[in-house]
């Protein structure tokens, strides 16, 4: 597997561990609907957190969160709408980004809640 794919998988696992440490329940990983894939769907109380994980080996070309495109946001909105309806959920939905930068052997994690409000 390519090195960037391994880094992405490691980033997703770190994001799951981070969320669990912060009292979230992981309800789904890599949820797919049509052309969309949601990295993590987590729940904390009455809030469903839709989490896009972006992992980079450096911030030389920008912050990881800067690489979430408007097209990706539209796909995530469609996918989570389907997920909520399909599962008959009555929850608040929040879209987060967990941005991870690996610097040498250390991973820096930043959790941006309600991240799409800023796009």
Q: What would you report as the CA-atom Rg of the chain, rounded to the nearest whole angstrom?
A: 14
| pLDDT, average across residues 11-24 | 96
Q: Quick one: pLDDT at residue 2?
A: 58
Q: Quick one: pLDDT at residue 95?
A: 94
Look at residue 119 and tell me whether its pLDDT is greater than 50: no
Q: Percent helix, strand and coil across the chain, each rounded to 5?
A: 35, 40, 25
Higher confidence at residue 3 or residue 116?
116
Output the pTM of the full model.
0.87
At the topology level, CATH places domain 3-118 in: Trna Endonuclease; Chain: A, domain 1 (3.40.1350)
- For the chain, the domains span 3-118
Taking all residues of the chain, what is their mean pLDDT, rounded to a whole number?
A: 88
Task: Write out the H or E segment, with its range, that includes residue 106.
Answer: strand 106-112
State in Å, rounded, how far the first CA of the chain is from the last one: 32
d(CA 51, CA 10): 15
Question: Using one digit for the tens of pLDDT, what is the confidence trace for 76-109?
Answer: 999 999 999 999 999 999 999 999 988 888 899 9
Q: Is-contact 92 46, C-beta < 8 A?
A: yes
Question: Using one digit for the tens of pLDDT, what is the confidence trace for 78-87?
Answer: 999 999 999 9
Q: Quick one: pLDDT at residue 4?
A: 58
């Amino acid at each position: 597997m390519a090195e960037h794919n391994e880094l992405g998988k490691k980033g997703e696992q770190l994001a799951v561990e981070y969320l669990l440490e912060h009292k979230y329940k992981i309800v789904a990983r890599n949820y797919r609907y049509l052309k969309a894939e949601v990295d993590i769907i987590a729940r904390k109380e009455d809030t469903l957190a839709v989490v896009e994980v972006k992992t980079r080996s450096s911030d030389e070309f920008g912050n990881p969160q800067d690489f979430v495109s408007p097209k990706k946001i539209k796909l995530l909105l469609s996918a989570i709408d389907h997920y909520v309806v399909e599962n008959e959920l009555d929850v608040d939905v929040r879209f987060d980004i967990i941005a991870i930068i690996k610097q040498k052997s250390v991973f820096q994690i930043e959790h941006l809640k309600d991240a799409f409000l800023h796009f």
